[in-house]
C-alpha cells in the first residue's frame, strides 16, 4: 500500500525567511509526487509535480520541491516566504502505472510579519 | 473558464435523509473523483471514475454511491446519511491520471449530518 507522511501539522516562518514543508512517501516502484495548496474556503490547487528527471522541480508561486530517492522524501521549499503563502499544503503520491492518488494529512503553513 | 462546480456549498441534514451532492466539470476530463477532508486525516478518496459508466471504490466508499452517466457529471449520493459522514467533500477531475495530469478541484461542500 502506498502512503504519505507529513510529519508537521504546522510550520511557522517569518516573512522573507526560507521555508520547508516536509513530506516522505512509501510506494512500490517509481513514485509520482505532487504538492497541492489549499487556501481558506477553497479547493486544492496544484503547485508542482515530480515524474522523472531533475530532482529539483519548480512550480507555481516560486515554490520548488526536491525529490530524494534514498530518503524517500519530497520536501517543498521556497527561498523567501510571503504572508500570502499562508495556507494548508498537501503532499500526494501515485504509484507509477496506478490510478490511485494518496494524500498526506496536510501541513498548515503560517507566515508572519 | 475551466472549472469544477460543486453544489451545494453548505448542507445541513438529518440522519437517514437521502441527499445528493452534484459535481460538474467543463474541461472534457476523463477522470473524476470524490474526496472527503477531515481534520488530522487529510483527504481520503471515496470513489473515482475513469470514464463514463466506469466507477471504482476508493479508500472509504462505505455509505456512498456514485454514478457517471455523462462525462461532465459525477454526483455523490448518500442514501442514508449518518453523523460520521459529517465532513468537507471535494470533487476533482483530470484529463487522464495515467498521464499524471494535475487534478482540478471544486470549492467543496461542507456537510453536517445531525
For residue B77, the model assigns a pLDDT of: 98
Question: Is the Cβ–Cβ distance between B112 and B11 less than 8 Å?
Answer: yes
E strand or H helix that includes residue A26? strand A24-26
8 Å CB contact of A43 and B100: no
What local confidence, expressed as pLDDT, does residue A52 receive? 84
With CB atoms and an 8 Å threshold, state whether B100 touches A51.
yes
Contact A32 B100 (CB under 8 A): yes
In a mutational test of the B interface, the residue from A9, A21, A44 whose CB has the highest number of chain B CBs within 10 Å is A44
Tell me what pLDDT residue B98 has: 64
Q: Which pLDDT tens digit goes with each residue over B48-69?
A: 998 999 999 998 999 999 999 9
Give residue for cell 503553513: A109
pLDDT-based confidence at B9, cuts 50/70/90? very high
Distance from CA of A66 to the nearest CA of B (A): 18
State whether B103 and A36 contact (CB < 8 Å).
yes
3-class secondary-structure state, position B51: strand
- Do the Cβ atoms of B95 and B103 come closer than 8 Å? no
Q: What is the dihedral of CA B80, B22, B44, B101, to 10 degrees?
A: 160
Gap between the Cα atoms of B35 and A27, Å rounded? 20
pLDDT digits (tens, 9 = 90+) for A57-83: 999 999 999 999 999 999 999 999 999
Å from A13 to nearest chain B CA? 21
Non-local CB neighbours of A31 within 8 Å, separated by 6+ positions: A25, A50, A72, A74, A93, A94, A95, A96
Residues with Cβ within 8 Å of A97's Cβ and at least 6 positions away in sequence, in order, are A29, B98
Closest Cα to residue B21, out of B37, B32, B29, B10?
B10
Is A35 near chain B, with CB under 8 Å?
no
Which residues contact residue B36 at a Cβ distance below 8 angstroms, ignoring those fewer than 6 apart? B43, B44, B46, B60, B87, B88, B89, B90
CA dihedral B74, A31, B88, B29 (to 10 degrees): -20
- Contact list, A41 vs chain B (CB under 8 Å): 107-108
B34 interfaces chain A, CB cutoff of 8 Å = no
* pLDDT level of residue A92 (50, 70, 90 thresholds): very high
Amino acid at each position: 500500500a502506498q502512503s504519505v507522511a507529513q510529519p508537521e501539522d504546522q510550520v511557522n516562518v517569518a516573512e522573507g525567511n526560507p521555508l520547508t514543508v516536509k513530506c516522505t512517501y512509501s510506494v512500490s516502484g517509481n513514485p509520482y509526487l505532487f504538492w497541492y495548496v489549499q487556501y481558506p474556503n477553497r479547493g486544492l490547487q496544484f503547485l508542482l509535480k515530480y515524474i522523472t528527471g531533475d530532482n529539483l522541480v519548480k512550480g507555481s508561486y516560486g515554490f520548488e520541491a526536491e525529490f530524494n530517492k534514498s530518503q524517500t522524501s519530497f520536501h517543498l521549499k521556497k527561498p523567501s516566504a510571503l504572508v500570502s503563502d499562508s495556507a494548508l499544503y498537501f503532499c500526494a503520491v501515485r504509484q507509477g502505472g496506478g490510478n490511485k492518488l494518496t494524500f498526506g494529512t496536510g501541513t498548515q503553513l503560517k507566515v508572519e510579519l | 473558464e475551466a472549472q469544477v462546480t460543486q453544489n451545494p456549498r453548505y448542507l445541513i441534514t438529518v440522519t437517514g435523509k437521502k441527499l445528493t451532492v452534484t459535481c460538474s466539470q467543463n474541461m472534457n476530463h476523463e477522470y473524476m473523483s470524490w474526496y472527503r477532508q477531515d481534520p488530522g486525516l487529510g483527504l481520503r478518496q471515496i470513489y473515482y471514475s475513469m470514464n463514463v459508466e466506469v466507477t471504482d471504490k476508493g479508500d472509504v466508499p462505505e455509505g456512498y454511491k456514485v454514478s457517471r452517466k455523462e462525462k461532465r457529471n459525477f454526483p455523490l449520493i448518500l442514501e442514508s446519511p449518518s453523523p460520521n459522514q459529517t465532513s468537507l467533500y471535494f470533487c476533482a477531475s483530470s484529463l487522464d491520471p495515467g498521464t499524471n495530469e494535475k487534478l482540478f478541484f471544486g470549492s467543496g461542500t461542507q456537510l453536517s449530518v445531525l
